[in-house]
Amino acid sequence: MVFLGIDVSTTATKALLIDAAGTVVGSAATTYGFDAPRPLWSEQSPELWWDATVQSVRRVLDETGTSGDAVAAVGLTGQMHGLVLLDADGAALRPAILWNDQRTARECDLIRERVGRERLIRITGNDALTGFTAPKILWVRKHEPEVFRRARVILLPKDTVRFRLTGAHATDKAGAAGTLLFDLSRRDWSHEVLEALEIDAALLPPTHEGPEITGAISQAAAAKTGLRAGTPVVGGGGDQAAQAIGVGAIRPGIVALTLGTSGVVFASTDSPCIEPEGRLHAFCHAVPDRWHLMGVMLSAAGSLRWYRDTVAPEIEFGPLVEAAADVPAGAEQLLFLPYLTGERTPHPDPEARGAFVGLTVRHGRAHLTRAVLEGVAFGLRDSFELLREVGATRIAEVRISGGGARSPLWRQILADVLEAPLHSVDTTEGAAFGAALLAGVGAHAWPSVEEACSAAVHRGETTEPGEASAQYAAPYARYRKLYPALKDSFFRA
């Protein structure tokens, strides 16, 4: 008996198999691109997700010698906030508008006007941001009225794959909470927001908890994928909620820190908790009757990649970062502002920009590298400070994952800046692993998500704060002054 997790991300769809002990049996991924038909636009054909799902599932079954009959359940995860519109025949009416599309600033203003900014945050847990689904719906309704008139259902990207697998229109509560149409406390669609925005509730699918069965593999999908017809498919979760399950961040006190292209700080809560200004995202967790707060910085390890590709493309990441170990904490007064693609937390500003501040002739490449590592750590600390201000959860343990977490120096800098021990985990499969665990719970291999994580997720190496921790107070205080000082100098379109 094995469980299948499918992760429909922006750049690839991964299929991951785990066994009844939570051990990874195998994985396969199929990559694809996305389109930018105009500046700030980001779109993708839903057919890419389905074709990649079929290829990845077939490949992981073939490569591991696993029969489709052995798959007891399927869990789904993937990119959040995207908009897919289907017609009465289940065909996509236009390319999906993705989470990183920035065309909807005016629609966000309209949402605040109709609902009221404070009321919107109180209901949904979030301010209106261009990444969310609701402003995309309003944009299509205004600019493509004929397309919108033909729409019969609104789905998120992974739920479009669910529809192709099962024929069912459904979504999970964690993903739905990222649409800006969800009542956070009730864990269901908000009648008040839908009415204010004049969106017909009949367009939206039913919502389900992460381990809840939402449908079964159809005969047509079985023929395509090699899975057994009738295999249950559970709700799953948005990518960050599933990633948190994959590292065991499922109860208050355990904070997940993901150091990928973007940086995410994820804290579970036992009840809905809202940052009054909406600077932290508040969503439902994929764990039943749990919620979470989340801070997002858009360019974390992405900042290091940009820096390497621009300044030292001939050097591998390992040697480049290792050289920064010889530079003292604080990089001799050099600071880096990591807002290379705008920012989300704590400054929801798509036009924020990056900067090196404090350059002198004493600074060499190793100083610049260390400043980038420290600037990202300072940006992540901003989210930790907001969590402490809200008081929603104590920070007892931080579990770190993502590509950047492979660097011992960067882990040490983060532990020093955050003033907290960092614990790695024994799996690196991320959201797909969390989706597979939810499938196992749905198939009753484990009685709860908590017991699934206890059985399958184990702490690895620990990085403790060191002597440099005290030396970061002054640089961090200076870092926090940079955005207010520089924001009026950023180019505004």
Averaged over 148-154, what is the pLDDT?
98
Give which of 126, 130, 147 is closest to 41, Cα–Cα. Answer: 130
Averaged over 213-218, what is the pLDDT?
98
Q: Which uninterrupted H or E stretch holds 477? A: helix 473-486
Give 89: exposed, middle or buried? Use CB within 10 Å, 0-12, 13-18, 19+: exposed
pLDDT grade for 226, boundaries at 50, 70 and 90: very high
Q: Mind listing the domains of the chain with CATH numbers?
A: 2-240 (3.30.420.40)
Instruction: Quick: pLDDT tens for 162-206.
Output: 999 999 999 999 999 999 999 999 999 999 999 999 999 999 999
Q: How far is CA 348 from the centre of its chain?
A: 16
The CB density around residue 405, as the number of other CB atoms within 10 Å, is 23
Q: Determine the pLDDT at residue 102.
A: 85
Spatial separation of the C-alpha atoms in residues 250 and 149, rounded to whole Å: 41
Q: Determine the pLDDT at residue 393.
A: 67
Q: How far is CA 387 from the centre of its chain?
A: 18
pLDDT at 49 over 70: yes
Where are the extended beta strands (E) located within 350-453?
355-357, 397-401, 422-425
Q: Which uninterrupted H or E stretch holds 489? A: none
pLDDT grade for 430, boundaries at 50, 70 and 90: confident
In the set 159, 172, 183, 239, the catalytic residue is: 239
The answer to whether the beta carbons of residues 376 and 390 sit under 8 Å apart is no
Determine what percent of the chain is predicted with pLDDT higher than 70: 99
Instruction: Quick: pLDDT tens for 123-146.
Output: 999 999 998 999 999 999 999 999
Spatial separation of the C-alpha atoms in residues 415 and 308, rounded to whole Å: 23
pLDDT at 396 over 90: no
pLDDT at 96 over 80: yes
Instruction: Quick: pLDDT tens for 300-345.
Output: 999 999 999 999 999 999 999 999 999 999 999 999 999 998 898 9
pLDDT grade for 493, boundaries at 50, 70 and 90: low
Averaged over 66-81, what is the pLDDT?
97
Sign of CA dihedral 28, 131, 380, 391: negative
pLDDT at 228 over 90: yes
Phi, psi of 246 (to 5 degrees): -65, -20
Which range, of 54-63, 228-237, 377-386, 390-399, averages the lowest pLDDT?
A: 390-399
Based on C-alpha coordinates, what's the Rg of the chain?
Answer: 22
Three-state SS for 79? Answer: coil
pLDDT at 82 over 70: yes
The strand pair at 153-155 and 84-86 is best described as antiparallel
Is the peptide bond between 37 and the residue preceding it cis, with omega within 30 degrees of 0? no
Instruction: Quick: pLDDT tens for 348-360.
Output: 888 899 999 999 9
Three-state SS for 162? Answer: helix
Spatial separation of the C-alpha atoms in residues 247 and 400, rounded to whole Å: 8
Averaged over 455-481, what is the pLDDT?
94
> Residue 33: left (phi > 0), alpha (psi -120 to 50), or beta?
beta
Q: Report the alpha-carbon angle 104-109-115, nearest 5.
A: 120
Reply yes or no on whether 239 is catalytic. Answer: yes
pLDDT at 491 over 80: no
Q: Determine the pLDDT at residue 59.
A: 98
